[in-house]
A and B are shown apart, each in its own frame.
Chain A
Amino acid sequence: MSLKRKDLLSLAPLSVEEIRLMLETADSFKEVTGRDIKKVPALRGRTVVNLFFEPSTRTRTSFELAAKRLSADVINFSPSSSSVVKGETLLDTARNIEAMQADIIVLRHPSAGAAEALARGVKSSVINAGDGWHEHPTQGLLDLYTIRERGLSFEGLRVAIVGDVAHSRVARSNIHALVKLGAEVRLVGPPTMMPFGVEKLGVGVYYDFDEALRGVQVIMMLRLQLERQGKALFPTIREYARLYGLTGERVKLAEPGVIVMHPGPINRGVEIAPEVADSLSSVILDQVANGVAVRMGILYLLSGAN
């Protein structure tokens, strides 16, 4: 099968077959990234534009590296240095980029739905690299890839997603994909960080971290957005860390061989203890390495002639 989509905007509408195709395609690129010469000519002559309206080092660099390893030309476009400050709309900015023959636009934007709106307005392929609290599909895919690489199968897999679920696009992408693939997803966090009615997505909701960890094979920690403190979501960082921080003691409550994931950047000593982040259970750096291979796969699959 081949991918018949112009864009990758979210994981929610994808079929299981499409997700599997994306993961299998990433396998081929994982092999490429392990070579001495980490470059293939597949996207020669294509132009990829990174259009980032929010600061990001990891995701932008990962996309840039992925595009370069496919031999595409890459342009990084960030609003502070552009005409956006002069009042240009998102669509006008994108149309200008498109007029310069961009084949694929990678968009990071603070508003949910921005990627979708952009995809409707331009002929270029659009990849959502995070839109508000909505989704971050390539992060979700690289998390799935990392789980699969560890030899775990998704059917019946017990996964805990822990932290500020309500404000996390990473959580949303993972929830949609994991539930689709047959995993048992447990969301853990204080009630103030749990989206209303989230059970409808087919997940369990837990407020007690220790209870949620029983039998879990994957622990996915979310970054505590410290800038949100003072907005009545949690009283103090110390209290949050005590209730929802992942310590070495807590890891022992999960299934032996459990893997610990985090989309980064991590707050050491807040949501994750340093000894856990640096332990053998942690696959945080594998996630980063796999991110490049997964994004190469997505760029490749979306690079068909328009």
Chain B
Amino acid sequence: MRRGPTRRGFLRAGATTAAALAAGAAGTGVAAGQSADYGGWFTSDSKGGEVKNYDGTTVDKTGQDTVTVEVGAQGNGGTYAYAPPAVRVSPGTEVVFEWTSNTHNIVVEDQPSGANWEGVSEIKNSGYTYSYTFETAGVYKYYCDPHLGLGMKGAVVVGGGSGGGGGSPEWGDWFTSSGKGGEVKNYDGTTVDKTGQSDVTVEVGADGNGGTYAYAPPALKVDPGTTVHFEWTSNTHNIVVEDQPGGANWEGVSEIKNSGYTYSYTFETSGTYLYYCDPHLGLGMKAGIFVTGASGGSGAAAGGGGGLLPDLNWWNAAWIVGPSAVAVPTIAAYVLWDSWRAGDVSLDWLLEGETPPETVEAPQYEPERRIEHDDYDPWGTASLIAVYTAILVVAWILLYFVEFLGRGPHILG
């Protein structure tokens, strides 16, 4: 996925001498109290101009697990607003962006260092929803590409204010169409909070995803030591663990089981557990369990956010570089050695000093008979060209007089 917006922000700040565009690149600190320092983001000092639907207050939604932001709400002379434009949330809050009108996106202008929110670069229409769980504290500024000039900008402030903690789940793209198996349609963006309970039930094979192909709830938050009871309510499902925190050793249920089967497991290790049903993976039968405690988000499913190439964090890089560094030279060396042995490869180009052997060319071509200038009449060519001209004329008549002049309204003089 393109990381362009954030990096562009930095590049522009660095490269622009006469800063005619974006101002507020700094100011990511979180101030105590209601308003954060947006560095002029909502005023006419920064790109896009004034955000008319920003009234100066930052809506305080700390302490809530999920917060909704409307995309394309009424404002700025049309449906060109984020509502609320400035909102404060606790770390670990999942912000659900709901499109209520057409042709908007979310381009991240600026975010705290260490955060890697990518926004939504593709233009989406009314009805689309997108969720992101904000972990890193600081100020995140974003805008809508097509409507930047109308002042469609927003900000999310993470941290400060009141509100609970306990860490929060980061599902990455597990529930989206970028995650393996595709979109989990029965995931509505909310994580069901069952902390404080020692026994929790998850239905396996509940209604959803076009049949009985869902875990319910798909996203669950529990405390360490909670026993989760998985109850099969339809046939042919299993539980395959995709990812779990380091140190955990949950094995899921690899055998296919049918309606009525139950299985329990007590989750101790904090972090994010991702699992899916093998036969119904392609239908989106996936789920996750987040166990609170320690630092949130064990990095599960953090890599590969769609797009052409994987995110290049150290882990991915090591997986690519390591084996490549061994395999590629080995294979290349073998092939070269084999070719050398066969006499197919020459390294003359390395031996600068030596005079290369003179190249022998094929003998000069002698034609069967020589036709001189005065003896030559290209009558075959004349015939071919005549045929070609005839084809051109016919084609032109058909395309210009019949197809073009005969069809449809034209631009009139």
Q: Check if A and B associate.
A: no
Measured CB to CB, the residues of B under 8 A from A are: none
Measured CB to CB, the residues of A under 8 A from B are: none
